[in-house]
């Protein structure tokens, strides 16, 4: 075979000549609530509160509703439209994508979920040594062609110290790592960093990725002077979210990984303002 052959490539078949199987009628006449693509690994760009950007490795689910008379949806269009949106993945862009999916795929509703690990530089409280803390973020949008419901959820680790243990013990008190989660809906932009600050403020003390001995002393004493039950954590966090006029709905929870019990402690609050 001549490797220098300049033969033209085989022509692509014209789109009109390819059967649209998904677009055919379905005689079972059963509507589907959600159909689409799940667990799509994709890099997206997320704006930060200081005006910068962070590129994250996201896991994305994208669905639309399917009417009873249609056989299937067009899966490739989900990824085509995601590719046009991934640069600057703000709530507004996710809402636009959800509504565009409804129009492009002729669906009455759509759902998009974007999950990723978000890193924030955090300085140790005494030494000032910087370190990266990781937080789990989930942005979810339920849309129609003309309406939407967007939810931002952030999960952050923290420290809790038991008030009962401190009260009844001759010295010391048991504490635990806890995972605090806040989901919110808003009428204005609330940054991930702001929600993290609310969450960490509700705990006995925050946790850090880098701590020197002088920092360990500060964090240990801060927790000891600020004991909290799991009930205290969710109530204090709820009060902070209640006081933010941008937030119209919230769901908060804390799971405390007990250090002297074989079970975990849990509490949650869900409210519409």
Helical axes 230-242 vs 192-201, angle rounded to 10°:
140
Record: fold of 32-272: Urate Oxidase (3.10.270)
CA 130 – CA 123 distance, rounded (Å): 4
CA angle centred on 233, ends 231 and 236, rounded to 5° = 105
Q: Would you state the pLDDT for residue 1?
A: 45
Nearest to 273 by CA among 251, 239, 247, 253: 247
Instruction: Write the burial class of residue 179 (CB in 10 Å: 0-12 exposed, 13-18 middle, 19+ buried).
Output: middle
CA 176 – CA 265 distance, rounded (Å): 10
pLDDT in tens, 38-88: 999 999 999 999 999 999 999 999 999 999 999 999 999 999 999 888 777
pLDDT in tens, 150-209: 999 999 999 999 999 999 999 989 999 999 999 999 999 999 999 999 999 999 999 999
% of the chain residues with pLDDT over 90: 83
pTM of the model: 0.88
pLDDT in tens, 109-164: 999 999 999 999 999 999 999 999 999 999 999 999 889 999 999 999 999 999 99
Give yes or no for residue 23 having a pLDDT over 90.
Answer: no
Tell me the CA distances in angstroms from 64 to 38, 52, 74, 244, one per residue in order: 12, 32, 10, 33
Instruction: Write the burial class of residue 129 (CB in 10 Å: 0-12 exposed, 13-18 middle, 19+ buried).
Output: middle
């Amino acid at each position: 075979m001549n490797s220098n052959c300049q033969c033209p490539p085989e022509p692509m078949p014209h789109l009109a000549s390819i059967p649209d199987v998904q677009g055919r009628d379905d005689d079972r006449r059963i509507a589907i609530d959600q159909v689409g693509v799940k667990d799509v690994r994709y890099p997206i760009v997320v704006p930060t509160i200081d005006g910068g950007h962070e590129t994250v490795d996201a896991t994305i689910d994208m669905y639309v509703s399917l009417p009873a008379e249609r056989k299937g949806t067009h899966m490739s269009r989900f990824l085509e439209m995601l590719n046009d949106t991934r640069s600057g993945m703000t709530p507004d862009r996710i809402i636009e994508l959800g509504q565009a999916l409804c129009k492009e795929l002729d669906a009455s509703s759509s759902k998009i979920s974007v999950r990723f690990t978000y890193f924030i530089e955090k300085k140790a409280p005494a030494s000032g040594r910087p370190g990266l803390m990781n937080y789990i973020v989930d942005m979810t949008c339920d849309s129609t062609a003309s309406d939407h419901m967007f939810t931002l959820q952030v999960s952050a680790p923290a420290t809790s110290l038991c008030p009962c243990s401190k009260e009844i013990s001759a010295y010391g008190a048991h504490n635990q790592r806890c995972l605090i989660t806040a989901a919110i809906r808003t009428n204005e932009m609330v940054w991930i960093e702001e929600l993290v600050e609310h969450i960490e403020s509700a705990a006995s003390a925050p946790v850090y990725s880098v701590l020197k001995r002088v920092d360990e002393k500060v964090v240990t004493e801060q927790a000891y002077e600020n004991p909290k039950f799991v009930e205290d954590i969710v109530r204090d966090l709820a009060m902070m979210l209640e006081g933010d006029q941008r937030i119209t709905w919230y769901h908060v929870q804390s799971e405390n990984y007990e250090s002297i019990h074989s079970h975990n402690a849990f509490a949650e609050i869900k409210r519409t303002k």
